[in-house]
Structure 1
Amino acid sequence: MSSKSNIKSYQDNPDGSSKDVHPYIFNPHNSKILSSNMSLRRSSADLTPKTGASGTNGSGNNANRAPGTANGSGDAGNEGNGGNGGSEQGNNHPGNNSRRPSSIAESIVSQVVHLKDLTVSQLKRRRFFAVSIFSIICIFIFDLIFLPRTSLDRDLRRLYGGFLTFDDVSRIYISQLNHINDVEKYINIYNDQTHEPGENCHLMENLMKNFEYLDTDVEKYDVYMGTPIDNSLKLLDEEGELLFEANIKESDHLSYFPFSRNGTVTSEFVYVNYGLDEDYDLLKSSSIDLTTKILIIRINDTHPSLLIEKAQNQKASGIVFYKDPYDDGEYTEKNGYMDFPAGYARNHHAIDKYTGSFIYYQPGDPTTPGWSPFLFEDHKRLDNPDTIPKIPILPISFTEIQPILRKLVKKGPSLNWFGDVLDFDYRPGPSDGLQLSIVNHIDYDIKPIYNIISTIPGIISDEEIIIGSARDVISGQGGVSQGSIGMLEIARGFNELARRNWKPLRTIKLISWDGSSLGQFGSTEFGEYHSQKLIDNCIAYINFDNVRGNDLSIESNPLFNKVLKKVMELILLDSNETLGEAFFAKNSTLQLISNGVGDYSVFQNHLGIPSINIGMIPNEEDDPVTYYNSKFDGPQLLKSFDPELKLHNLLAQFIGMLTIELSEHEILNVAVTDYVELIKREVELTVDTLPAEWLNRNMTYPFEYTKLGDEIEILKKQSHDVYELAKAFDIELKGLQHLIIQDFPWFKLYKKIKTAIKVKLYNTRVKALDRMFISIAESSRERVHAESLLHKRPWFRHIVFAPSLSSPNVSVLPGLKEGSESGDFEQFEMNLVALRIALDRVYKGL
């Protein structure tokens, strides 16, 4: 068989067998179709008629011998019959058929039949392969059509290896905290240590690092702060002889007010009640001179830093602060109750301590107002900032103040002031020759504080939720009511989830703040340093506040009203009542954020990050008196109103579930309508109280000859339009969340892609909403930039929320209200324009 026949045979018969294969070869010389089993050399002889079987005929043409002959002559004759032998040999060649075709026509017919048989065989084989391929394609299409329908929510989690559903995450977290309560263990560890600002950060660091599935780091910030060296308070007679020296220690640690001015002051003293404006008005009407006097002030609801500023304005030379049991309500010794620890009344040796820094004007390091020294090395710290007191201040206990106040009996007019000091008529004085001597020595320097940050990375890396709590205490002892104990419970629950391969949708950070007792140093420095990253990424800040009683306290940005109410119904107080039922049995609504200054302030009031503050406050009917930065804020006091130590754990469940709710839904769970409705309502209430002459007055900023009344009407319409748009926006958010969890077949992948793009777009709009109300005043004629939209408070840049300077409540639209109440037309018009610009941004942004 020729080489071409071999190739064709392999192609038609992969097994390699050639006995049943008969390929055909085209002969170009005479255009005949020849069988490959006929020798090419014998093909001419086959076409020549035979004459006989003679030897001559058998050997006469050597050219026509079979391929198997050894030489050109004598081969056929060796068999004795050369012609016949040659012919038989040729006929018996292994490659030949048993019978040679008798004619050309027969040969052609035979080969055509063979060709037909071969073609049918090939078709059968090809049909098998075709049917097989077609079947595979059909099965593939069938599988595609009937693939499981999936949602964008499930696809996203599978993409990142997350297989725990929202229900799984919630169940595991609540079960972990319900079945195990480690609060007492953490309290015992915490109470055995001191917690001065900047010291003993390793305790919290090690506790957080015990949760091995959380990534824990430490950030150090250098701040201006002091350490008390020596202080004293002495009562002197007219000749300067010592009559009484007060004990200003609760324990071995000195009691002091951070940022009280160093120095020694000796002067007559005056009792000024609560040190409020109305108290000074009474004293002024009674012709009592306060200049250079040491003022004795009792602390109640107003933060002492505000009282310090008022005293300085009266030209006082020093201040002594104390707590009067008269302000504690029912639980006092006068009402027959024993003092703590025997009873619920105030322990008379307790000393409450507060920062002297003017945190209502600017929390954080007073020498770096509004900026971080780590970002602006060329900025110089302020040498003598206005937010640090200019006079020495000391806090003392109720026991130690009584001998001093009794020296004022029958001195000065009766002003109808009352209290619980025995044998004292609460007259102001002055002391008429008797003097107080204050010695205050604090070592001020640049010193480090440490924030402990634990992170659970999320799938969406550019969206994060921060939970924070304070851990330091002035004088270092007590403080078990702080949120750090509950923060450890939250970390324990999240660690269990992470151990089960939970990856939150959004990044979650747990931060233990240092320096909070100095004036929110840790949180403020963190916010100022990471300001741009927080503005870009942080969707919510949740502050774990103190546990001081049995009543739940919530201050919230209105964006979170809906989700807070939802989560409260998920937390059980007992088998018959939820946290929400208990809360709304006593409260008609949620409080607004910024009732005071806290670790949330840098987020909400400075950066425009919507915030929530959650804690427990005393029930005046059932809970004992509380203490601030005092050694009496310990386990015994906590167990007096929380014997099972369940409240920290309860808040940990609430805050943890709130975080999961905000993290695990692709669309941020917010209510924009609630926010805008608040602004709309407050605008109407504020402008309704304006003096009539203001409405016809021409504005000077930024428009000339525009009536204020006309601008107010535009503002009202604008707030109404934004409100209507916000309602439509919330409906779109709800519909988009439905699309996220809706199942689609694979061939509608384009809908998932479209939905994913809309989710990112709408979340970006929500995230930017609160930032739109951050405003920095521009210069206006003689008005300097430093005044800002809030008088003397440039650090507070949010034009909707700020702490009130006159009450322990939030001030909504503070610039408008302060301008209206003080009669400052220019401040009012500046804030009106700022609000209009912000609402315009919101309208375009939504």
Structure 2
Amino acid sequence: MDEKQSYKPIEAGNVKPKPKSTIKKFGYLATAAIAAYFLVSRNNLIPTKFTTQDEAKSIILDTLETNLAGEWSKKYTSEPHLAGTNYGFVEWTREKFEEYGFKASIDTYDIYVSYPKDHDLNLLKKSTEEIVYKAPLKEDEIDEDETSKGDDLIPTFLAYAANGNVTGEYVYANYGRKQDFEKLKELGVDVKGKIAIVRYGGIFRGLKVKFAQDNGAIGILIYSDPGDDHGITEANGYKQYPHGPARQESAVQRGSVQFLGGVGSAPGDPTTPGYPSKPGAVRQDPHVSIGRIPALPISYREVKPILEKLNGQGIRVHDKDWTGELEGFDYSTGPSDKYTLNLYNDQVYNISTLYNVYGEIEGEKKDEVIIIGNHRDAWIKGGAGDPNSGSATLLEIARALGALKASGYKFKRSIVLQSYDGEEYGLLGSTEQGEYFAETYKRKVVAYLNLDSSTTGKYLHLSASPVLNHILRAAAKELEYPEEGVGSLYDHFVKERGDKITNLGSGSDYTVFLEHLGIPSADLGFGQGKGDPIYHYHSNYDSYYWISQFADKDFVYHNLAAKYLSLIIFKLSEHEIIDFKLKDYSKDLLTYYKQVIDLVPEDWYEDKEISEETFQKYLSHDFEEEQYIHDSTDGYYTAASYYPFPELLKPRQCQHNKVVTMLDTKHHFNLTLKHLVKKTHRDLKRLANITDSFDDKSSVLQLKFDDKDSLSFWQKIKLHFQIKHHNKLIQYFERNFLYHKGLFERPWFKHIIFASGRFTGYEGQTFPGLREAVEDGDYERFVEWLGIVSKTIKRISIKLSI
């Protein structure tokens, strides 16, 4: 049948019926137009009635004019909440999230942990083995401080310290750093078979245990030395807590002695390295990440009678770095020829369930998520500073954002609050969930913001991935600093910190996000500065009384932290173009690169040619025996795009107007290390130029979005897809710095720019692959890592240029 005869006439008017094919096309176009309409409408490209961003910010800040941080602090410090305990706090946190409009859930992990059972420490007279001093191994109860009293106090202990009962001579080993034990060896002081006594500071406590064990020690004591209290001591006229700001002499710093970021180790459950501790997980030997020798923490009052017996024994190191301010001790190394120590540690090791609590406000862009995290577990009943100043701040943020949601505001990006368990033991809750949700997080998360001790003083500290520096500064400019005459929070930061936002290392929950998953992260809070009271870190005196009477009266800085973080979250969520500055990152890369290159030994720069084997390591095997096609019709070079030295590629004509480019292995051996170092520097400078242009494009797209009302319908559709593509490049920018093999001997750490120091734990390192090769004197590995860095930088440059 003829197509036209199949149509019925239109009853109204004389309009002729359209052919079926035309109607189909019209239907498709109409459907596409409707879909496009809802698409751009959902993404705010078509104006709808909603609260303006200025009004939204006002709702957040007005809500926080009522300050409830002290109430939350009192709640969280009222009961012990060691990792894997106090399910009541788990439920209460979930209920608070729900109360403020978040969709809440509890996520569990079965993790290998230890709990205190018994301990003892005795100073013995060597000749008779009689006990001349027994350390109490407990802190004083203080009448003014209710948290320091009662029968529910957690004993002084170091989690993951091995069980054991050892007796031997003992030596003073300063901070217990790698170089400190090397110094003792150089001086002829043998640590093997002895108990090491070290002071807190310098490096993570777990690495003190590792280095003591590596040098043959049979046990270790760790104490807090008044010399590390920045002059706030009794010797300088300050009274002890609770009568003044100086450290209470019986205070003991508990903590974990997991190796964290040391060689061969990783954070998280030590029995499931690199994969989550869910039921049925295969368990491995944990001793790659935890020690085999017993360890105890001790106060400076308790260690004094022990260290005094070393006076004049062994060698006295005439170096300020080796000398603290413990009264009555001359800081001789020992050992003593008259006294020994007996150290006993007994803990219960088991697989315990740990509980993370999550709260979510779903945004319009469900594949763009901002996570704000804080851990909930504490070593003591209190933990007012660590972690509960952060926990109180997190609830205040929930309350402020919940008020905004209740007003009818629609968030652009999803906001997720996370309360972790087990951070203190080794970043357990955050690491395990990061490993469990790894692919989802890498696909969806825009940024991670970390709260640990959000308030233990009044000086703002900021550490972050450089892409976040701009937004951290911008939000600080919008808030007033509480002290009269200072100006904005940013003015305070410039005055006290020189506007310096530091690099991230480890020691808190951002580690898995940045260094394993490549998610831009920031860690922030108000800490100690000049004149601030000593913070009783991990001690019974980190209490509600201490924080409310000494650190933050009226919880003013808790409140400021909540306002500051809420503004950062809002800016990250609501800016249409993800508000990162890639140029800040590339600029810092040049600085980091210069710092590491300055460490390279001069003799590495001698004009010796690089061997073929070393050059292949530089290529990291990605280009070995491969062919690269050049299409002469469009000038596209795969080889020139990625190969570091295109001039060494020889073209060979073949069929179908193609050119096969082969590696000329006979003419590259005139390359020296200087060539490779300069090549990487050129790549970094090119990336700086490209990111500068990229940031300009971000600004242009944001301006177009802000002026969207002037655009035609189809221009809005085009802009939608331009923004979507551009935002994905921004969102995944940090992921590009992940190297699938990870760092040398630390494969869990995937980031080639940022990692915790393998000999420090807390302190961050930049370009760790290069830096560690220099530290180890490994020339070939340094060349290999130059290739990894250069190729990564070049690949990113190409992506941002397309």
> Do the two structures share a fold, i.e. TM-score over 0.5?
yes
1:159 and 1:247 map into 2 onto residues whose CA distance is: 70
284-293 or 649-658: bigger deviation: 284-293
Instruction: Tell me, yes or no, if structure 1 residue 247 matches structure 2 residue 132.
Output: no
**Equivalent residue for 2:317, pick from 415, 422, 425:** 415
Aligned partner of 1:825 in structure 2 is: 779
Aligned partner of 2:721 in structure 1 is: 757
Instruction: Tell me, yes or no, if structure 1 residue 770 matches structure 2 residue 734.
Output: yes
Alpha-carbon displacement from aligned partner over 1:520-565 (angstroms, at most 9, x marks no partner): 1011011000000000000000001312211000001110121111
After the TM superposition, which residues 356-367 of structure 1 pair with which residues of structure 2 at under 5 Å, given as runs? 356-361=257-262, 362-367=266-271
After the TM superposition, which residues 315-330 of structure 1 pair with which residues of structure 2 at under 5 Å, given as runs? 315-330=216-231
Aligned partner of 2:255 in structure 1 is: 354
2:306 and 2:591 map into 1 onto residues whose CA distance is: 50
Amino acid at match of 1:610: P
**Equivalent residue for 2:582, pick from 664, 672, 676:** 672
Per the alignment, do residues 162 and 449 of structure 1 end up closer, same or farther by CA in structure 2, a change over 3 Å counting? farther
Aligned partner of 2:33 in structure 1 is: none
8 Å contact from structure 1 (residues 322, 395) kept in 2: yes
Amino acid at match of 2:212: A
**Equivalent residue for 2:69, pick from 176, 183, 189:** 183
8 Å contact from structure 1 (residues 535, 771) kept in 2: yes
- SS of the aligned residue for 1:395 comes to strand
8 Å contact from structure 2 (residues 310, 332) kept in 1: yes
Deviation at 1:590, TM superposition (A): 3.1
1:610 and 1:743 map into 2 onto residues whose CA distance is: 29
Per the alignment, do residues 665 and 189 of structure 1 end up closer, same or farther by CA in structure 2, a change over 3 Å counting? same
- SS of the aligned residue for 1:624 comes to coil
Per the alignment, do residues 685 and 348 of structure 1 end up closer, same or farther by CA in structure 2, a change over 3 Å counting? closer
Deviation at 1:712, TM superposition (A): 2.5
1:207 and 1:219 map into 2 onto residues whose CA distance is: 13
1:380 and 1:524 map into 2 onto residues whose CA distance is: 17
1:262 and 1:795 map into 2 onto residues whose CA distance is: 28
1:287 and 1:559 map into 2 onto residues whose CA distance is: 48
8 Å contact from structure 1 (residues 258, 355) kept in 2: yes
341-350 or 707-716: bigger deviation: 707-716
Aligned partner of 1:404 in structure 2 is: 306
Q: How many residues align?
A: 682
8 Å contact from structure 1 (residues 471, 514) kept in 2: yes
**Equivalent residue for 1:451, pick from 343, 356, 365:** 356
1:397 and 1:424 map into 2 onto residues whose CA distance is: 15
1:682 and 1:454 map into 2 onto residues whose CA distance is: 37
Aligned partner of 1:738 in structure 2 is: 703
Aligned partner of 2:29 in structure 1 is: none
Per the alignment, do residues 277 and 508 of structure 1 end up closer, same or farther by CA in structure 2, a change over 3 Å counting? same
1:440 and 1:527 map into 2 onto residues whose CA distance is: 32
1:162 and 1:630 map into 2 onto residues whose CA distance is: 52
Aligned partner of 2:275 in structure 1 is: 371
446-455 or 639-648: bigger deviation: 639-648
8 Å contact from structure 2 (residues 164, 294) kept in 1: yes
After the TM superposition, which residues 52-451 of structure 1 pair with which residues of structure 2 at under 5 Å, given as runs? 156-157=43-44, 163-178=50-65, 180-210=66-96, 211-238=99-126, 239-250=128-139, 252-361=153-262, 362-374=266-278, 377=280, 380-416=282-318, 417-451=322-356
Instruction: Tell me, yes or no, if structure 1 residue 568 matches structure 2 residue 456.
Output: no
Per the alignment, do residues 684 and 400 of structure 1 end up closer, same or farther by CA in structure 2, a change over 3 Å counting? closer
439-448 or 701-710: bigger deviation: 701-710
1:244 and 1:728 map into 2 onto residues whose CA distance is: 69
Amino acid at match of 2:59: I
Deviation at 1:702, TM superposition (A): 4.5
8 Å contact from structure 2 (residues 78, 381) kept in 1: no
* Percent identical: 31
Aligned partner of 1:55 in structure 2 is: none
**Equivalent residue for 1:523, pick from 430, 442, 457:** 430
2:449 and 2:175 map into 1 onto residues whose CA distance is: 32
**Equivalent residue for 1:462, pick from 367, 372, 386:** 367
Alpha-carbon displacement from aligned partner over 1:180-221 (angstroms, at most 9, x marks no partner): 000111111112111110111432532442324111111011
- SS of the aligned residue for 2:562 comes to helix
8 Å contact from structure 1 (residues 474, 518) kept in 2: no
Deviation at 1:262, TM superposition (A): 1.0
Per the alignment, do residues 561 and 601 of structure 1 end up closer, same or farther by CA in structure 2, a change over 3 Å counting? same
**Equivalent residue for 2:750, pick from 797, 801, 805:** 797
1:768 and 1:158 map into 2 onto residues whose CA distance is: 24
8 Å contact from structure 1 (residues 224, 447) kept in 2: yes
- Highest relative contact order (Cα 8 Å, sep 6+), 1 or 2? 2
- SS of the aligned residue for 1:507 comes to strand
8 Å contact from structure 2 (residues 357, 419) kept in 1: yes
Per the alignment, do residues 498 and 161 of structure 1 end up closer, same or farther by CA in structure 2, a change over 3 Å counting? farther
* Structure with bigger gyration radius: 1
8 Å contact from structure 1 (residues 623, 641) kept in 2: yes
Amino acid at match of 2:677: I
Per the alignment, do residues 833 and 272 of structure 1 end up closer, same or farther by CA in structure 2, a change over 3 Å counting? same
- SS of the aligned residue for 1:686 comes to helix
8 Å contact from structure 2 (residues 304, 326) kept in 1: yes
2:200 and 2:793 map into 1 onto residues whose CA distance is: 40
1:201 and 1:767 map into 2 onto residues whose CA distance is: 36
1:314 and 1:644 map into 2 onto residues whose CA distance is: 49
1:711 and 1:424 map into 2 onto residues whose CA distance is: 52
Amino acid at match of 1:750: W
8 Å contact from structure 2 (residues 124, 132) kept in 1: yes
2:177 and 2:282 map into 1 onto residues whose CA distance is: 35
Per the alignment, do residues 267 and 213 of structure 1 end up closer, same or farther by CA in structure 2, a change over 3 Å counting? same
1:181 and 1:208 map into 2 onto residues whose CA distance is: 20
8 Å contact from structure 2 (residues 45, 705) kept in 1: no
1:508 and 1:282 map into 2 onto residues whose CA distance is: 50
Aligned partner of 2:415 in structure 1 is: 508
2:311 and 2:691 map into 1 onto residues whose CA distance is: 62
Structure 2: which 5+ residue stretches go unaligned? 1-12, 14-36, 140-147, 620-664
726-735 or 793-802: bigger deviation: 793-802
8 Å contact from structure 1 (residues 258, 354) kept in 2: yes
Aligned partner of 2:658 in structure 1 is: none
